[in-house]
Structure 1
Amino acid sequence: MTVELLTRGVAIETNQLVPQPPAGTDVFGRIGTLETRLARSSREIDAAQAVRYRVFVEEMGAQLPAEAMRRQRDFDAFDDICDHLLVLDHAIEGDIEDQIVGTYRLLRQEVAMAHGGFYSSSEFDLAPLLARHSGKQFMELGRSCVLPDYRTKRTVELLWLGNWAYALKHGMDAMFGCASFPGIDPQEHALALSFLHHNSQVKDEWMVSALPELYKNMNMVPAEEINPRQALSAMPPLVKGYLRLGAMIGDGAVVDQAFNTTDVLIVLPIAVISGRYINHFGADAGRFAS
């Protein structure tokens, strides 16, 4: 489950990014006092899990396992095999761990396959997709969240810069991951989900569907009855951001009772990412990647 709605009102637009620090550092980029890089220690991962707890549980009402609730950390077994992308604000006084304001969890295919598969496979049937693209490398985006005071264009842009640079650094061909609508009643999002079904659903070699036993029909409103402007305004901002990048949406939604969300699968081949974002971040992320 990825809470893509959390950076409300954010669009991923061009912003002035300062040059990347000298080669040899692990920083992907900086804007003002904000910086994006991978977590460097178990303490930083623990702090990212605390940020996730504050957002998913305290703000959105997720019900985690008892140990996670006791520790006030959102964690699972995937944390041990993922890389954790961070956004830090160095203007915050205190330890580095206190400066973490946003995070994404990144999982490369070679790592996932060595440890039992991807997180999203618990909701979506990924096997046919991966089999059709046996020569490509996928990466999974998950557990994205940003603290309320940092749900701004700059923070989201840095997270995407980190994802982009990471994907290029590791030779990834496509990204995917769950994106979430609030609540467990898909009918509450009938307009937005139907718009995605009619206009952005995966096709042909990129086809992927929700698991049959979890499948929720997204086709609830006929195409001719949909007002596109209204449908887009009803979507979580980062779902719209994914669409601007050229993303497609899997067939069928899934209700995640534990996280109190309705999930769709985002599929984003690197080759189709919108040209203006490639121009901004750089075709090889050379301005930003370490």
Structure 2
Amino acid sequence: MALEFLNRELTPEANQAPALTPASSDVFGRIGTLETRLARNAREIDAAQAVRYRVFVEEMHAKLSPDAMRIRRDVDSYDAICDHLLVVDNAIEGDIEDQIVGTYRLLRQEVALANGGFYSASEFDIAPLLARHPEKQFMELGRSCVLPDYRTKRTVELLWQGNWAYALKHGMNAMFGCASFPGISPEEHALALSFLYHTVSAKDDWAVSALPELYRQMDLMPVEAINARKALSAMPPLIKGYLRLGAMIGDGAVVDEAFNTTDVLIVLPIAAISGRYINHFGADARRFAS
């Protein structure tokens, strides 16, 4: 499970774009007292891991390794090779550990391939996808979470501003990552999974499938039985946010018992992102990605 559901939708509206003004060269965006930037040192990464523990373990009942449970941190080997996007509330008094309220984990293709591959490859067969696009650079989004009190539209927008600026800064052409439904029974999400299967499946050059030994059927309802409005209402908000950006969904779900989730693979070519979102976040992000 790499991408956790927040509890607000990403719904930028015309003439209501946030005032995103960087305070320094490594800040990707700011709204009020909140800013988004990359972690600057090991201390900040440790604080992000503590936020992840609070959301994934204390709130969602994930079962981590004994060492991770002992130190109360969601930590794995990928943390050492990823960049860690943060949302920081500068209005909170105290140390940086107290100010980090949200996080995303970002992994560029060149870094992944030099260090054993992508996290998502443990659930989905992404090698053919990468092979079909040798001219493109992919980035993986993972471990997304926000503390309960900060699950608001502006926090989600800051995370996406950070992702967008980071992708353009590093010349990325596509994003992908696991997105999660709560619980380990795909049948409980039959309506939403079937809607994704019938309407936004990744096809042709963008097709990707769950690993055969982990594959769980998404086509749980006939297309004529699907009410689109109800299906969207039943969907985790972060997945709906991806769909609004133009994302596609891989074939097959994967049950992640350790994280107590049912995962699908999001595939989002940069070129597919809707024009109104590009206008919202900035077509080149130079003011954030310099």
TM-score by length of 1: 0.97
Deviation at 1:19, TM superposition (A): 4.6
Mapped partners of 1:279, 1:226: distance in 2: 33
Partner of 1:103: 103
Aligned residues of 1:4 and 1:239 also touching (Cα < 8 A) = no
Mapped partners of 1:143, 1:11: distance in 2: 18
Mapped partners of 1:105, 1:61: distance in 2: 20
Partner of 1:164: 164
Mapped partners of 1:145, 1:206: distance in 2: 27
Residues 244-263 of structure 1: pairs in structure 2 closer than 5 A = 244-263=244-263
Deviation at 1:4, TM superposition (A): 2.8
Partner of 1:17: 18
Percent sequence identity over matched residues?
A: 77
Partner of 1:76: 76
Aligned residues of 1:63 and 1:259 also touching (Cα < 8 A) = yes
Aligned residues of 2:194 and 2:220 also touching (Cα < 8 A) = yes
Aligned residues of 1:218 and 1:252 also touching (Cα < 8 A) = yes
TM-score by length of 2: 0.97
Partner of 2:139: 139
Partner of 2:190: 190
Mapped partners of 1:192, 1:108: distance in 2: 30
**Structure 1 residues 149 and 39, CA, compared in 2 at 3 Å: closer, same or farther?**
same
Secondary structure of the structure 2 residue equivalent to 1:4: coil
Question: 2:66 matched to 1:66?
Answer: yes
Question: 2:43 matched to 1:51?
Answer: no
Mapped partners of 2:151, 2:233: distance in 1: 17
Residues 180-259 of structure 1: pairs in structure 2 closer than 5 A = 180-259=180-259
Aligned residues of 1:136 and 1:173 also touching (Cα < 8 A) = yes
Partner of 1:39: 39
Q: CA RMSD for the aligned pairs?
A: 1.1
Residues 1-16 of structure 1: pairs in structure 2 closer than 5 A = 1-5=1-5, 7-14=6-13, 15-16=16-17
Aligned residues of 2:197 and 2:251 also touching (Cα < 8 A) = yes
| Structure 1, unpaired ranges of 5+ | none
Aligned residues of 2:202 and 2:248 also touching (Cα < 8 A) = yes
Partner of 2:86: 86
Deviation at 1:227, TM superposition (A): 0.3
Deviation at 1:176, TM superposition (A): 0.0
Give runs of ≥4 in structure 1 deviating > 6 Å.
none
Mapped partners of 1:212, 1:65: distance in 2: 25
Deviation at 1:12, TM superposition (A): 3.1
Q: Deviations over 1:181-210 (max 9, x none)?
A: 000000000000000000000000000000
Secondary structure of the structure 2 residue equivalent to 1:166: helix
| Structure 2, unpaired ranges of 5+ | none
Aligned residues of 1:217 and 1:252 also touching (Cα < 8 A) = yes
Mapped partners of 1:222, 1:49: distance in 2: 41
Q: Deviations over 1:134-171 (max 9, x none)?
A: 11100000000000000000000000000000000000
Q: Deviations over 1:73-131 (max 9, x none)?
A: 00000000000000000111101221000000000000000000000000000110000
